[in-house]
Amino acid sequence: MSGLKDQRVIVTGGAGFLGRHVCQTLARFEPADIFVPRSRDYDLRRRPDVERMLGDFEPDVIIHLAAVVGGIGANRRHPGRYFYDNAIMGIELMDAARLAGVSKFVTAGTICAYPKFASVPFKEDDLWSGYPEETNAPYGLAKKMLLVQAQAYRAEYGFNAVTLLPVNLYGPHDNFHPESSHVIPALIRKAIEARDSGSERLFAWGTGNASREFLFVRDAAEAVALAADRYDGSEPVNVGSGREIMVRDLAQLVCELCGYEGEIVWDATKPDGQPRRCLDVSRAKNAFGFEAQTSLEEGLAETIAWYERHRTAVASAV
């Protein structure tokens, strides 16, 4: 029998970028109900709101995706907020869930928790071998503490809390805000605006020499659902595609797919962030059968097409 079948599931952040795709994917596993609490109704930083939410929905399973996130610039501007909000939401929610008798708790950590100079590909066992890249450290460490909490609660209380470590995500419904977006939506927006304005140059952050790994959001949603259904281990699990690409090559690919033929100018006064990112994804395959299905080229093409259709609404929302 499915681990999610006939279960009452809360997905925090279920109206967000990853969350909306997770909720769609979860339906295939036949839960009894899927609840998506909204921040306007339940402030997960406040214990009374968390307890009221659990009383209102009485979940069997919680998938905790709610987070305060952004690109390098946003991380540099808001290190305090990114640390406090992400840590306190997870800490209060996990503790209240344990006391409420929730049977399973799944939390999405972050690749930003890895050491700045972790060996590539990143293996889960290397998570504690150094300090995270400085611009992402407050966010990464806040999420990392939820792994510590999950393992501590399992050891002392037998609480079934599992931790996933997703790589950089992208896809339809991503955040394209120029002040807080991650690299793929930022490049897509810049390339399309430069194309349409006839600009001969597009300015991009950093040197372009850093590398990244990306996972299409629907693939990430599949991984979260599979883990919620099948994985009950204490060890964190990388969730990614296993493909590394230099940011310089990514930018060229995005420009080609957007139909922009101008020059990409790299602003080396802006930070590159972590030098390299690429995951060992074997544990996810072995533990709950997840493998990414969408190539970067396919995912980028779909994301660009979505942005082209919705960019007027996206622009008016920022």
Structure confidence by residue, pLDDT tens digits, 87-126: 999 999 999 999 999 999 999 999 999 999 999 999 999 9
| Average pLDDT for the chain | 94
Q: How far apart are CA 193 and CA 35, in angstroms?
A: 38
Asked if pLDDT for residue 178 goes beyond 90, the answer is no
Sign of CA dihedral 166, 170, 171, 176: positive
**Strands of 168-170's sheet in order across:** 168-170, 211-216, 244-246
Q: What is the pLDDT of residue 177?
A: 87
Q: Where are the alpha helices (DSSP H) in the chain?
A: 17-26, 47-57, 72-77, 79-100, 137-157, 183-197, 217-230, 247-258, 282-288, 296-316
Do 196 and 234 meet the contact criterion of CB atoms below 8 Å apart? no
Q: Which domains does the chain have, with CATH numbers?
A: 8-171+213-244+276-293 (3.40.50.720)
The residue-averaged pLDDT of 55-71 equals 93
Structure confidence by residue, pLDDT tens digits, 141-171: 999 999 999 999 999 999 999 999 999 999 9
282-289 long-range Cβ contacts below 8 angstroms, 24+ apart: 283/124, 283/235, 283/237, 283/238, 284/223, 284/227, 284/237, 284/238, 284/239, 287/227, 287/230, 287/231, 287/233, 287/237, 288/223, 288/226, 288/227, 288/229, 288/230, 288/231, 288/237, 289/226, 289/230
Q: Any idea what DSSP says for residue 135? A: G
From residue 259, how far is each of 173, 262, 296 by CA, in Å?
21, 9, 17
Q: What is the pLDDT of residue 1?
A: 38
Shortest CA distance to 12 belongs to which of 176, 146, 185? 146
Q: What is the pLDDT of residue 317?
A: 59
Asked if pLDDT for residue 196 goes beyond 80, the answer is yes
Name the band, by pLDDT with cuts 50, 70 and 90, for residue 74. confident
Top-confidence residue, 267 or 73: 267
Kindly calculate the radius of gyration of the chain based on its CA atoms and give it in whole angstroms: 19
Instruction: Report the relative pairing of strands 211-216 and 244-246 from DSSP bridges.
Output: antiparallel
Q: What is the pLDDT of residue 73?
A: 76
Residues annotated as catalytic are: 139
One-letter identity of residue 84: Y
Q: How far apart are CA 71 and CA 276, in angstroms?
A: 16
The residue-averaged pLDDT of 234-256 equals 97
Total-model pTM: 0.93
